[in-house]
Amino acid sequence: MKVVAVGKRPFVTAFRLVGVQGVEVDTPEAMLDTVNRLFRTDGVGLVLLGSDLSTPVRLKLSELRKKHAVPLIYEIAAPGAQVEEAEYSKVLRAMLGV
């Protein structure tokens, strides 16, 4: 299964240096469109998203996670982005719809 990084140029370039495929996008909407396309692409098992663009569309990404088990979507702090504290119980409840 393939891993694909989606985000701004510095984020994607960092992953390309270690052999991960990447898609450069400049807006949260473009990121969401790319993720939707990757859900329909065979062989993609993990999508890594830059947090600077994924944060504004996090609710829509959660909806996609509920509908599709694969690929996994994982948000990573983008270069220069502020790191957020994650409340995993809250994330799990949102994913499960409870």
Q: What integer is the mean pLDDT of 57-70?
A: 83
- pLDDT band of residue 68 (cuts 50, 70, 90) is confident
The CATH number that applies at residue 73 is 3.40.50.10580
Q: What is the pLDDT of residue 81?
A: 61
Q: What integer is the mean pLDDT of 50-76?
A: 84
Q: Which range marks the domain in which residue 84 is found? A: 2-96
Determine the Cα–Cα distance for residues 85 and 41; give it in Å rounded to an integer. Answer: 31
Question: For residue 90, is pLDDT > 80?
Answer: no
- pLDDT band of residue 87 (cuts 50, 70, 90) is low
Question: For residue 52, is pLDDT > 80?
Answer: yes
What percent of the chain has pLDDT above 70? 83
Domain count across the chain: 1
Question: For residue 5, is pLDDT > 80?
Answer: yes
